[in-house]
Amino acid sequence: MLLTIDAGNTQIKAAVFEKDILLYKEIIPYTAWQNSLENILKKFSKITNIAVISVGKLELSDFLTLHSAPKVAFLDKNTKMPFINGYSTPKTLGIDRMILASGAVLLYPNTNRLVIDMGTCITYDFINDKNEYLGGAIAPGIRLRYEALHNYTAKLPLLEKSIPENRIGNSTQQSIHSGVINGVCYEIDGFIEAYSQEYKNFIIILTGGDAEFLAKRLKNTIFANPNFLLESLNKTFQYNQND
């Protein structure tokens, strides 16, 4: 068994895999990560490895504090990937985006792929059918947009995300919801339309915490999979083990 860990900007996502089967998933706050991982390791005693990516606060040395940790692998920019990195600044490419690209190649071979990750930021990553990572885009996520409207204005309230009742908001709250949610949808559909002008055939994978929230509001046919990063981490670990 493999325990995969995605240490993000605001929280930790952990999942247990038996080969390609996801057995268990948990979202963990940073304040309780050690106890939570200890409990997972006790519950799944057959875990032999832990595969970690971190864009947040966890480092390899942190795992030395665990009482019964199996072998820990930190995947980083030096990890072997199944694609050619065409990014002009490869050292600045986040490991989370690299793992998403890796998963797209391993899970969807011989095609063009666009991965859209809806987390703290919305990232777009394009990998062509020659397994060349070409790059993409980074934009503020849904929560960041709500917070920006509140923090950089004098009177706009901070709202929780909500599907707008109408495109034309008839109150300040509904106008904010319409601007944020519809704006994100138009942005995503616009990116997809722009890519389709150059690449006639490609699959679209929508993932991240807000993937299911928005999937039905988008015009384009997509694979909505909120667990895609963890699945990609599992596949990338296997890829390196089999090398």
Active site (catalytic) residues: 96
Side-chain half-sphere exposure of 163, counting CA atoms within 13 A: 8
Which residues make Cβ contacts (< 8 Å) with residue 171, sequence separation at least 6? none
> Which alpha helices (H) appear in the chain, and where do they start and end?
33-43, 95-107, 142-151, 172-177, 183-198, 211-215, 228-241
User: Helix axis angle, 183-198 relative to 142-151, nearest 10°?
Assistant: 130
d(CA 25, CA 205): 20
Buried b (16+ CB within 10 A) or exposed e, 197-226: eebeebebbbbbbbbebbeeebeeebbbbb
Non-local (6+) Cβ contacts of 237 within 8 A are 2, 4, 49, 51, 73, 75
Rounded CA separation 229/15 (Å):
10
Buried b (16+ CB within 10 A) or exposed e, 95-121: bbbbbbbbbbbbbbeeebbbbbbbbbb
Three-state DSSP class for residue 26? strand
